[in-house]
Amino acid sequence: MKHSISAILFDENEIQTRISDLASQISKDYESKNLVIICILKGSFVFLADMIRWFTIPVKIDFMAISSYGNRTESSGEVTIKKDIDIDIKGKDVLILDDIVDTGISMTFLFDHLKKYRPNSIRSCALLVKQKPRLREIKIDYKGFEIEDDFVIGYGLDYAEKFRNLPYIGILKEEIYRNE
């Protein structure tokens, strides 16, 4: 798989160090609250699995599956819910956990959608946040790393459903997706 990558952005150690810092900040901020983490599938499952093991507070976990990219590298702009949450978040403190924020369309959609269930609070956490003007301006409360506008894969992130199992985050070579 390494021949598909032009550079490694963050290796396993860098990712774990950053995630443990984020988890300890979140544990402090939610110490006396009712934290419910909503993990956005599929890309965030690795991030969630590592993150929750650093928490020092009780946490409930649920999952949503959405999609706006399909097999392409550009957002279609339309978000589809493939799976909604199962647990009742009314009056709870919700933290949306996503692997990456690019255009902001997904996170904006998730805020608007989850607000309807009347939680006490909603915040966002993203492992990767692209530094670029967004189509939807959205505040990311907890950021892992800010990155350039490259196509990144690994650690849960895919290209056409591949590469999610890479233990590091790398940049996909342009020639892999140039002819799509």
CB of 75 to ligand PRP, least distance (A): 4
CB of 166 to ligand PRP, least distance (A): 14
Cβ distance to ligand PRP smaller for residue 69 or 168: 69
Cβ distance to ligand PRP smaller for residue 28 or 65: 65
Catalytic residues, by residue number, are: 102
Q: Which residues bind ligand PRP (CB under 6 A)?
A: 40-43, 67-69, 75, 98-107, 158
CB of 91 to ligand PRP, least distance (A): 26
One DSSP character per residue, the chain reads -GGGEEEEEE-HHHHHHHHHHHHHHHHHHTTTS-EEEEEEETTTHHHHHHHHTT--S--EEEEEEEES-TTSSS--S--EEEE---S--TTSEEEEEEEEESSSHHHHHHHHHHHTT--SEEEEEEEEEE-S--SS----SEEEEEE-S--EEBTTB-BTTBSTT-SSEEEEPHHHHTT-
Cβ distance to ligand PRP smaller for residue 28 or 72: 72
